[in-house]
Amino acid sequence: MSAIFPKWTNKLPLMVAIGGLLTAGAVTAGVWYYFTPKYFRVGYQPIQPVAFSHATHSGQLGMDCRYCHNMVEKSWFSNIPSASTCMNCHNQVLKDDPRLALVRESAASGKPIPWVQIHRVPDFVYFNHAVHVNRGISCVECHGRIDQMEEVYHAKPLSMSFCLDCHNNPAAKVRPADKITDLGWTPSPDPAIAAQKQAQDGKKFVHDFRVESLNNCSACHR
């Protein structure tokens, strides 16, 4: 018999088992790690037609988000400002700068600047900006520290579990209504006290703003 099966074949079942386990483990780990918006969406930073810096305008100059995204409190959609909003200042500031040529052209002709959309949930998800910002959910919860970004990138996964984390426990995120656009705000500079304060105030805000934290499918999917 030994002429047909050499001695090493005694180890074959073990080798197959180890090989199979390794392969299955690697595939599972790979799918778990990669097949999620945390990988596919986070970090998306397209090149925009105009090199607009949120870090300069919002971070350094301290302009409120709503100066440009002025419809966010009224509309389900947070508007991209028209070029005429830029021209409120840039008709004087850097008024001949070549970097702003497209903005001036757009303001003059009415043809929109082709900004590239970064944050986009699936078309069957009906996210309403107004409902969230008017009930104490800050921009930062979904968009990250935009005020520190030279170029905007996708900072949070915006997956369904990301939404549900907050919908299951809104008290952990809800903040005072006048701090919505203050992206760096915390209840206290000390993390331990901040967590304690958030736990106390969060419940109160949830009650005062009548936060409903809807968890049924049709809250978002219609």
Partner 1 sequence: MRYFILIFAVLVLIVIGVAGKRGDITRNSPIQIFPDMKRQLKLRPQTPNGFFANGLSSQLPQPGTISQEKPMLVGGKEVYSFEDAPVNTGRVTGATNFIELNALPITEKLLARGHRQFNIYCAPCHGQTGEGTGITKKIGAMAIVANLHDKRIVQLTDGELFNTVSHGKGVMQGYAAQLTVGDRWAVVAYLRALQLSRLGTADDLAPETRAKLK
Residues at the contact surface with partner 1, assessed by CB under 8 A: 11, 15, 18-19, 22-23, 26, 30, 33-47, 61-64, 66-67, 70, 77, 79-80, 82, 84-85, 87-89, 91-94, 112, 114, 117, 122-124, 153-154, 178
Count of CB atoms situated within 10 Å of the CB of 70: 15
Minimum CB separation of residue 91 from partner 1 in Å reads 6
| Closest to partner 1 by CB, 89 or 195 | 89
Smallest gap from residue 52 Cβ to partner 1 (A) = 15
**Cα separation, 123 vs 143, whole angstroms:** 18
Cα distance between residue 37 and residue 56, in whole Å:
28
Determine the Cα–Cα distance for residues 93 and 97; give it in Å rounded to an integer. Answer: 9
Q: How far apart are CA 128 and CA 131, in angstroms?
A: 6
Nearer to partner 1, 64 or 190 (CB): 64
Among residues 23 and 148, whose Cβ is nearest to partner 1? Answer: 23
d(CA 77, CA 155): 19
Nearer to partner 1, 4 or 47 (CB): 47
Q: How far is the CB of 62 from partner 1 (least distance, A)?
A: 6
Burial class (CB in 10 A: 0-12, 13-18, 19+), 37: middle
The SS3 assignment for 213 reads: coil
Shortest distance in whole angstroms from residue 30 CB to partner 1: 6
